[in-house]
Amino acid sequence: AQSVTQLGSHVSVSEGALVLLRCNYSSSVPPYLFWYVQYPNQGLQLLLKYTTGATLVKGINGFEAEFKKSETSFHLTKPSAHMSDAAEYFCAVTPYGNNRLAFGKGNQVVVIP
Amino acid sequence: IAGITQAPTSQILAAGRRMTLRCTQDMRHNAMYWYRQDLGLGLRLIHYSNTAGTTGKGEVPDGYSVSRANTDDFPLTLASAVPSQTSVYFCASSSGADTGELFFGEGSRLTVL
């Protein structure tokens, strides 16, 4: 079975500082990996994804993530936090050919002015 | 605007009552999903449907049932609601291609007393 681990339910970051959200996955087959973002009272929307090919993937709003097979990680970063980045972020995994995503527990990001 | 429509947005329900959460999509996606979101637990898959006429169990299916009579609709039924089913429920869909990208509705907040 596939799973992801996100540590630290709440993450506080100063405006303009680096955003780093960690995600480690477990998968017995080559995984597809995703980051989704959820703004208050909304559904989730895709931030970025890794399927195959380039291991550094860029998403919307300046976010990027790097797939590191040796570390079973897919950490999300953004060089400079903006107030609008305040949201909950979920890492998710699914095996190739299967769209039934397994989500992590999420990171609630608070941006401090 | 194309997307997923969920109803009701919010509902308070007495324990033991039957409740159906509605989900309709207009993107002609083959696959649909129901997730529940609980604080500190992230999203967990309840049931899914890869195509009209088929359904499958996810991670937490007990106490829930689904049907998929056509491509657009995927209702979730709680036959006899219990307080532990208090949650926010999200319906999602995907095209069925091996992209892993899900499109989410805005959720239905259910409180069972």
> How distant is the Cα of A66 from the closest Cα of chain B, in angstroms?
17
Helix/strand/coil percent split, chain B, to 5: 5, 50, 50
- B105 Cβ contact list (under 8 Å, min separation 6): A43, B3, B4, B5, B6, B23, B90, B91, B92
Check whether B98 has a pLDDT greater than 70. Answer: no
Ranking A24-38, B25-39, B58-72 by mean pLDDT, the lowest is A24-38
Q: What is the pLDDT of residue B89?
A: 98
A37, closest residue in chain B (CA to CA)? B104
Check whether A25 has a pLDDT greater than 90. Answer: yes
Check whether A96 has a pLDDT greater than 70. Answer: no
> How distant is the Cα of A93 from the closest Cα of chain B, in angstroms?
9
